[in-house]
Amino acid sequence: MADSIDESKNVTVTEEDLENKSKGELIKLAGQLRDRRNELNQMASERASSRDDLNAKTREKVDEAQEHRENRDELNEQVQEHKDKRNELNAKANELFDKVDSLKNDLELDEGKSVDELKDEIEDLEFKQQTEVLSSEDEKELIEKIEEKREKLQEKTEKLDQTDDLEELKEEAEEVRSEASKHHQKVTELADEAQKHHNEMIEAYREADEIRDEADEKHEEFVEAQEAADQHHEDFVRVQKRLRELDKKEEKQERSAREEKQEAAKEEAEEIYQKFKEGETLDTEDLMKLQKAGKL
């Protein structure tokens, strides 16, 4: 809230004051106007100084906000770069994992029984062949089963021999995915840092607005004090002008009075001189008047 000046301390001058107040009263009034004008000018100067300080702080806050804005924008650019790299790597990883799945499907590694399961079954069947008494037909059927499982085991083993490429492809895909994760982590870190700068930028702008409002109020106070000081100065000049007019009037009156006095003295001296010429006796005062008038 603006700090208004105390108007009760202001000094006012009316045309009636200028016309009717005595010279002494006007001299006193001029002094009051001068003192109040100086006081108001000092007040205006202090308020202008406060306003300028606040404006300087406003600029500092705006500069601070701008610096945070630049940092935020720079970080957001880095975020976008890491996002692009992450997306590129994820796309590549997805492509590699698709190739892994495709190759696994081609090899049918996930279908049927595992190598260990097949080996166990073959051992069980061979043990049965060796330990049990079987009919020729049953033994023939058992041998056929053993051969069938051996063929499946050989086929499975041959396919597993082709899995080196699969493992390399899978390892490459996982490495690419890991690299993409690193870029994602960087995206998160940089985005958090950018958000901090954004929040600090908003706060700095908010503080700048508050300080600017204070500076505007202080400027209004400065204008109020300066206008009041200017008004007191104008009134001071009016009173001074009136005093000069009175001085001139007094001077004119005094000059006129002197001239009248001189004229009267001259006439009196002329009369005394005529008496002197006619032989009348003059006293000392008359002689001094003649001497002063340059008649002797």
Taking only the tens place, the pLDDT of each residue in 191-215 is: 999 999 999 999 999 999 999 999 9
CA trace torsion 133, 136, 140, 143 (10° rounding)? 30
**Residue 110 pLDDT greater than 60, yes or no:** no
Split at pLDDT 50, 70, 90, the class of 293 is low
Go through 259-285 and write b for each residue having 16 or more CB atoms within 10 A of its CB, e for each that does not: eeeeeeeeeebeebbeebeeeeeeeee
**Residue 260 pLDDT greater than 90, yes or no:** no
Q: Which of 19-23, 32-36, 58-62 has the lowest mean pLDDT?
A: 19-23
Question: And the tokens for 65?
Answer: 């906000």
CB proximity list for 151: less than 8 A, separation 6 or greater: none
Q: Which of 104-118, 142-156, 204-218, 237-251 has the lowest mean pLDDT?
A: 104-118
**Residue 108 pLDDT greater than 60, yes or no:** no
DSSP secondary structure code for residue 278 in this structure = T
Question: And the tokens for 117?
Answer: 């399961």
CB proximity list for 112: less than 8 A, separation 6 or greater: 152, 156
Most confident of 102-106, 188-192, 277-281: 188-192
**Residue 38 pLDDT greater than 60, yes or no:** yes
Full DSSP string of 84-139? HHHHHHHHHHHHHHHHHHHHHHHHTTTSS--HHHHHHHHHHHHHHHHHS---HHHH
DSSP secondary structure code for residue 9 in this structure = G
Beta carbons of 221 and 2 less than 8 angstroms apart: yes
The 10s digit of each residue's pLDDT in 48-81 is: 999 999 999 999 999 999 999 999 999 999 999 9
Q: What is the mean pLDDT of the chain?
A: 88
Full DSSP string of 190-224? HHHHHHHHHHHHHHHHHHHHHHHHHHHHHHHHHHH
**Residue 1 pLDDT greater than 70, yes or no:** no
The Cα–Cα gap between 144 and 124 comes to: 14
pTM of the model: 0.61
DSSP secondary structure code for residue 7 in this structure = G
**Residue 84 pLDDT greater than 90, yes or no:** yes
Residue found under tokens 């089963």: 145
**pLDDT (mean) for 11-18:** 94
pLDDT score for 265: 77
